[in-house]
A and B are shown apart, each in its own frame.
Chain A
């Protein structure tokens, strides 16, 4: 079993829909990261969380430390949100452990 699990693996949506991507982890962490990877391979960091909730534009990230679970929400989705979203946790070894990603496609 992977230490970081994401669901769903693939997600399609119509423009304007509310989207939720989930991340569960099984190790102790000091922080959780949400990343966005575009088709060319480059990665953009979206959020770093250690508790509660953060919001940036149409993106919202939440984390429940007790349940070892985080969610990434996209409100009013747009085709330009199409990308792979990756959850990564910073564990006791101070190294990032990555999930396998959720591939999102938003259609106009």
Chain B
């Protein structure tokens, strides 16, 4: 069974940093594209970033480019999202998600439960 468990969320001041992690199990982690998707309270889904299996290819939403960095540790089956220079508008539940199949980069089929990031003074 595919399992994705996010951690690292919390309250941070504007301008601060936070590192999210997503522990994966139940599949061949290093073979799949992985994504971060966020959802502000009461709002819709917003795609944040994705990374390919070996970590050599990454993409970002314009709103986070230059501030967020996605990475992965395939030895530990863990996905990360380093978030710097956080803004109030980054407040959201952050989900990690897995690509639908090996090699599929744009569709996700398995999601974690999400971790809440609150940016406020």
Q: Do chains A and B interact in one complex?
A: no
The residues of A with any CB-CB pair to B shorter than 8 Å are: none
The residues of B with any CB-CB pair to A shorter than 8 Å are: none
